[in-house]
Amino acid sequence: MRSSVTTLSLVAAALFTGCIMPSAKSPSTGAVATGEPLAVVDDVKVWTSTSKEKVGETVYRDSSGRTIATADDYQERTQVHSMKVWYPVQGQQQLVDEDFFRIAGDHSALAQTEEMRSDGRKWSFRGKVMIGVGAASFIGSFFVPNIYGRTALMTGGGLAMGGGWYMAYWGASKMSPEQHAVDRSIAERAARQYNERLGTVGASMTKSF
């Protein structure tokens, strides 16, 4: 019995840490100045999510009409979400913030952006370590004969895994191209000053997808 429980715990820990771990990857950089004007694009990101909600209950009765069992009825519900976002471009090419501020020559905004990405990597690493420690504690709890010690170790391990996942998620969000270290107005000012040096007029654009 214990070996079966331990095996299931190992499988659950592997699934938890490997399959639903927040993706923490820095945006690809390397774009160079092409002589085209810089701009800031306003956008609307739209996505859907699906969840199950209870819509009723089925009652099972025997031949004499007595209730012998009940079962909840669920139905999938699709929700549409939207969020305002912005991103920089050079001509028609979308840029990550690092390349945009490097081309624009805004060293302060570039430093803040790189610091945010670095902070994201740190939080992602810390979260993964905590998840690993929590998973080890959770699995190790099955080898503790004392019920109080086993419960404490299992609870602590579960909390550590949950906290570690949140830390990893927080780190991953800082590394997303949609996350900005500076306000949109700073990016727009950087684009305007760069375009003035080019002898062009900067502009903001809006679109949705």
R_g (Cα) of the chain, nearest Å: 26
Would you call 167 exposed, middle or buried from its count of C-beta atoms within 10 A (0-12, 13-18, 19+)?
buried
Whether the per-residue pLDDT at 208 is higher than 80: the answer is no
Tokens, residue 168: 């990893």
Question: pLDDT tens digits for 60-90?
Answer: 887 787 888 787 778 888 888 888 889 999 9
pLDDT band at 22 (very low <50, low <70, confident <90, very high): low
Measured in whole angstroms, the distance separating CA 76 from the mean position of its chain's CA atoms is 23
Say which residue, 176 or 55, is predicted with more confidence. Answer: 176
Q: Please list the residues that pair with 56 across neighbouring strands.
A: 73
pLDDT at 1 over 60: no
* Domain ranges within the chain, ordered by starting residue: 2-44+84-208
User: At 128, is the secondary structure helix, strand, or coil?
Assistant: helix
pTM: 0.69
Cα(117)–Cα(27) distance, rounded to whole angstroms?
9
Write phi, then psi, for 151 (nearest 5 degrees).
-65, -45
